[in-house]
Structure 1
Amino acid sequence: MDAVDKKILNNIFSLLDRLNLQMKLSLIDLLSESVKTRSSSKSKMKAAFGAWESDESAEDLIETIRTSRNTNRQIEQF
């Protein structure tokens, strides 16, 4: 942890130190849950990336995309 991180942490702690006991315990619970769920959200993020998987060839896929395009462009008169 560098000096900037320590300063930020100390500033946050000075704000949180004024909370009552029940609020501090609730905050601990929330932080604990966020740490537990964060690891699963990273794996979901990694799963969102990757190569396109299809039995179609690239040319067939391009043709499918091009033929499915439609336009309803209407030029408005001024």
Structure 2
Amino acid sequence: MNPLEYNSKIIDGYLSLLDNLSQSNKLDLIAKLTASVNADLSTKKSSFSEAYGAFESSKSAEEIIDEIRASRVFNRQIESF
């Protein structure tokens, strides 16, 4: 079965379920679906723009390196044979 045909059958199934709703309920559903689609689109746009760029910090590179080195914890214990 073609994915387009499969999606069409799913949509037809939903439409048959929604036939019994009142007009106000249908309009409310349309508004909520529209808001959902708009939210999905804005999330996709913002997540794409956040996927690139440099690390931003007010600290210098040397300060960041010093913090990383200071946060290292060595707990390695060498066992004798």
Please classify the TM superposition score into its range, dividing by the shorter chain length.
Answer: 0.5 to 0.7
Q: How many residues align?
A: 69
Q: Which runs of 5+ in 2 are unaligned?
A: 75-81
Question: Structure 1: which 5+ runs fail to align?
Answer: 72-78
Aligned to 1:33: 35
Q: TM-score, normalised by structure 1?
A: 0.62
Q: CA RMSD in A?
A: 2.8
Match of 1:50 in 2: 52
Give the TM-score, by structure 2 length.
0.60
Identify which range, 21-30 or 60-69, moves more after superposition: 60-69
Larger Rg belongs to: 2
Q: Could you say if the C-alpha distance between residues 25 and 69 of structure 1 is closer, same or farther in structure 2, counting changes exceeding 3 Å?
A: same
Q: Counterpart of 1:17 in structure 2: which amino acid? A: D
Percent identical residues: 30
